[in-house]
Amino acid sequence: MKTDHINVIGAGLAGCEAAYQLAKRGIKVHLYEMKPEKKSPAHSYDGFAELVCSNSLRARNIENAVGLLKEEMRLLDSLIMKAADATEVPAGGALAVNRYEFSDYITEAIKNDPNITVIYKEITDLSELEGITIVATGPLTSDGLFKDISSRISEGYLHFFDAAAPIVTGESIDFSKVYMGSRYDKGDDDYINCPMTRRQFDTFYRALVTAECAEVKDFEKHGVFEGCMPVEVMAKRGYETLLYGPCKPVGLEFEDGTRPFAVVQLRKEDDEGRTYNIVGFQTHLKFPEQKRVFRLIPGLENAEFTRLGVMHRNTYINSPKLLDRFYRLKENDEVYFAGQITGVEGYVESTASGLYAAISAYQQFNGKEPEVLGNESAIGALAAYVSGSRSFNFQPQNINFSIMAEPEKNYHSKKEKREQIVAHALKAVNDYIEHTEVI
């Protein structure tokens, strides 16, 4: 239905960015936010775009994928990036902010925008809103709206928590130490097998059971760990537990018929084998500990992680089944999703999805089909990943170079490859701006 405004639900990172991008293009926005009356278990500040945990927006350098993503957003005049640059605090190579000044900056900008009407209300039924709506209610979407969304989409397409194993790039695996093959030869060479001797397993086991775990928030204690056991918890049950679980060597004999003491399997995340997940290694270890411990697995000594394991409460939809390239529901083109609820992971990624969803919604509002921003760019690659991932088990993802378009093979080093990716990305965003006149 044609209305004189677009609705945005949630004044978090994605929602504020979306509202700002729409308002600056002359669109009236109704922005719904349940705070301060009702707060999720992780939110405590009354201002908008609250950073619920770390105050870092991660790497600054544009030769790092998240640095590039931020730069692309600056080109597109992102409110969140303006706030971050204005309120930054010293943090070496990272862009960290004073979280209260950051939130206040954004709250002021949104409240003072004549095109934005803020409505303090929890939305529990999407049908109470008319016209185009962007749902940006985050990983801790209120229960009422969670129920309403689950009643509108197919069963099993709305997740309540995230239990993910780490993912590594194919190019960082040492193939001289691993072998291909499926258990009992069922299937093709679908898995990479990392064999361990008893001594290697002992070293790995000791490191795993003594590694430091991340803090479990009170609201995560029930529900998150019940369905799926972290690999370190399994290991602590006894020395042999992993040998009957995710390190089981049976059916994975070498060509000469001998059997390794233990085997860790890696499974393709994409058709080309650019990334692999470590099968059964969902974990709650601290991030630096994951890198230290999992690099003890033969073949992964120099592993480059595109995502580390997490086990936390996280509401997200099965976007590859539900959304199109513009974060829009395939079955109802008046409903967009943005932010962590789409299966992007992280502050910066959530913001980027809000930005792109809003520009697409603006184009639709004006009777045009939204323009594709290609996956040469980090913003476009995230949208393509979320809507097109062919992984059998869709998991939220940070931005990383392996989901972006590969450059032509005329590079001689990893550094040169990165430089090419960055140049192509910035060109794609500039072309998009010029072509669609989005600024």
Ligand X SMILES: Cc1cc2nc3c(=O)[nH]c(=O)nc-3n(C[C@H](O)[C@H](O)[C@H](O)COP(=O)(O)OP(=O)(O)OC[C@H]3O[C@@H](n4cnc5c(N)ncnc54)[C@H](O)[C@@H]3O)c2cc1C
Q: CA triplet 298, 299, 303: central angle to 5 degrees?
A: 115
- What residue has token string 């650019």? 274
Token pair for 318? 């099965």
Window 69 to 108, contacts with ligand X (CB under 6 A): none
Q: Would you say 40 or 169 has its CB closer to ligand X?
A: 40
* By CB under 6 A, residue 165 contacts ligand X: no
Alpha-carbon span 366 to 27, nearest angstrom = 10
* By CB under 6 A, residue 133 contacts ligand X: no
Binding letters toward ligand X, positions 187-226, x by CB under 6 A: ------------------------------x---------
Question: 292-327 burial by CB neighbour count: b if 16+ within 10 A, else e?
Answer: ebbbbbbbbeebbbbbbbbbbbbbbbbbbebbbbbb
Q: Would you say 79 or 123 has its CB closer to ligand X?
A: 123
* By CB under 6 A, residue 297 contacts ligand X: no
Least separation, in Å, of the C-beta of 310 and ligand X? 9
Least separation, in Å, of the C-beta of 387 and ligand X? 17
Question: Quick one: how far is CA 408 from the chain centroid?
Answer: 26
Q: Classify strands 179-180 and 191-196 as parallel, antiparallel or unpaired.
A: antiparallel
Q: Which amino acid is at 325?
A: R
Task: State whether the Cα torsion 300-281-163-310 is positive or negative.
Answer: negative
* By CB under 6 A, residue 53 contacts ligand X: yes
- The correct pick among 10, 67, 170, 370 for binding ligand X (CB under 6 A) is 10
Q: Would you say 99 or 267 has its CB closer to ligand X?
A: 99
Least separation, in Å, of the C-beta of 211 and ligand X? 20
Alpha-carbon span 341 to 345, nearest angstrom = 9
Least separation, in Å, of the C-beta of 113 and ligand X? 17
Least separation, in Å, of the C-beta of 136 and ligand X? 5
Q: Would you say 297 or 311 has its CB closer to ligand X?
A: 311
Residue 374: name the closest of 306, 421, 318, 439 by CA: 421
Alpha-carbon span 32 to 80, nearest angstrom = 18
Least separation, in Å, of the C-beta of 125 and ligand X? 10
* By CB under 6 A, residue 67 contacts ligand X: no
Alpha-carbon span 231 to 280, nearest angstrom = 7
341, 157 contact by CB (below 8 A): no
* By CB under 6 A, residue 347 contacts ligand X: yes
- The correct pick among 7, 78, 141, 275 for binding ligand X (CB under 6 A) is 141
- The correct pick among 8, 13, 97, 399 for binding ligand X (CB under 6 A) is 13
Least separation, in Å, of the C-beta of 224 and ligand X? 11
Least separation, in Å, of the C-beta of 315 and ligand X? 9
Q: Classify strands 335-337 and 5-9 as parallel, antiparallel or unpaired.
A: unpaired
Q: Would you say 33 or 334 has its CB closer to ligand X?
A: 33
Least separation, in Å, of the C-beta of 307 and ligand X? 12
Least separation, in Å, of the C-beta of 18 and ligand X? 9
Residue, CB closest to ligand X: 12
Alpha-carbon span 68 to 400, nearest angstrom = 10
| Strand intervals (E) in 123-207 | 133-135, 158-164, 167-169, 179-180, 191-196
Least separation, in Å, of the C-beta of 102 and ligand X? 12
* By CB under 6 A, residue 66 contacts ligand X: no
* By CB under 6 A, residue 11 contacts ligand X: yes
- The correct pick among 27, 81, 123, 403 for binding ligand X (CB under 6 A) is 123
| Torsion angle (degrees, nearest 10) of CA 359, 361, 366, 372 | 60
401, 421 contact by CB (below 8 A): yes
Question: Quick one: how far is CA 146 from the chain centroid?
Answer: 19
Binding window for ligand X (CB under 6 A); candidates: 98-106, 125-133, 221-229, 334-342? 334-342
* By CB under 6 A, residue 346 contacts ligand X: yes
* By CB under 6 A, residue 138 contacts ligand X: yes
- The correct pick among 9, 163, 303, 310 for binding ligand X (CB under 6 A) is 9
Window 14 to 43, contacts with ligand X (CB under 6 A): 14-15, 32-35, 40, 42-43
Least separation, in Å, of the C-beta of 220 and ligand X? 8
- The correct pick among 5, 12, 266, 352 for binding ligand X (CB under 6 A) is 12
- Give 185-226 as a DSSP string: G-SSS-EEEEEE-HHHHHHHHHHHHHSPBPPPPGGGTTTTTT
8-state DSSP, 425: H
Residue ranges that bind ligand X, judged by CB under 6 A: 9-15, 32-35, 40, 42-43, 52-54, 122-123, 136-142, 145, 217, 339-341, 346-347, 350
